[in-house]
């Protein structure tokens, strides 16, 4: 049995995952406007991943006997000063997501909800990859210091990323 407190916390995270998707879609729009199709692609993959994360949580809440609810969200940031600024913003956002996932895990542990702990472990592991991925791109962007050729090389590299669907139940 899942507690209402944990259901409420998961519902809040579902909304946050959907909001995260919108953040990445806004970042994609920035890169489309700036003619960086590879970086736009990278953000679109992030968008799809965040929606899959929300769906995975939604399904867990339903399967655990809770009531999933859609909560309101705010408008994401739409303007950025540079590709580096976008990826630094993305990393800062992922660090917030990590903190929120850790809080969910702590709640599941406090309630001795082993099923929720096992479920949330996937997200704990996923966040390590999310932060590392954005962090590596930031290091590369800092290395090239805004050099146009370097930006084009990174853009071409990021164009290769593809969305790999995850199991959502």
Domain ranges for the chain? 4-158
Q: Spell out the CATH class of 4-158.
A: mainly alpha
In angstroms, the CA 123 to CA 45 distance is 17
CA 51 remoteness from chain centre: 9
Neighbour-count burial of 120, counting CB atoms closer than 10 A to its CB (0-12 exposed, 13-18 middle, 19+ buried)? buried
- pLDDT in the model for residue 146: 82
Q: Which residues of the chain have pLDDT under 70?
A: none
- pLDDT in the model for residue 24: 98
* pTM exceeds 0.85, yes or no: yes
The answer to whether 20 and 97 have CB atoms below 8 angstroms apart is yes
- pLDDT in the model for residue 38: 98
For 39-61, the pLDDT digits (tens) are 999 999 999 999 999 999 999 99
Residue 34: count of CB within 10 angstroms of its CB:
16
């Amino acid at each position: 049995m899942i507690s209402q407190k944990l259901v409420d916390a998961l519902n809040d995270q579902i909304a946050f995952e959907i909001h995260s998707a919108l953040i990445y879609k806004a970042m994609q729009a920035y890169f489309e406007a700036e003619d960086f199709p590879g970086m736009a692609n990278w953000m679109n993959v992030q968008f799809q991943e965040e929606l899959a994360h929300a769906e995975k949580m939604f399904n867990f809440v339903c399967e655990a006997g809770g009531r999933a609810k859609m909560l309101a969200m705010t408008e994401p940031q739409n303007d950025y000063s540079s590709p580096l600024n976008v990826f630094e913003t993305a990393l800062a956002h992922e660090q917030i997501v990590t903190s929120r996932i850790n809080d969910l895990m702590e709640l599941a542990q406090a309630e001795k909800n082993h099923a929720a702990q096992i479920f949330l472990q996937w997200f704990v592991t996923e966040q390590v990859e999310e932060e590392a991925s954005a962090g590596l791109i930031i290091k590369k962007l800092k290395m090239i210091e805004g050099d146009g050729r370097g930006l084009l090389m990174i853009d071409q590299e990021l164009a290769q990323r593809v969305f790999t669907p995850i199991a959502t139940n």
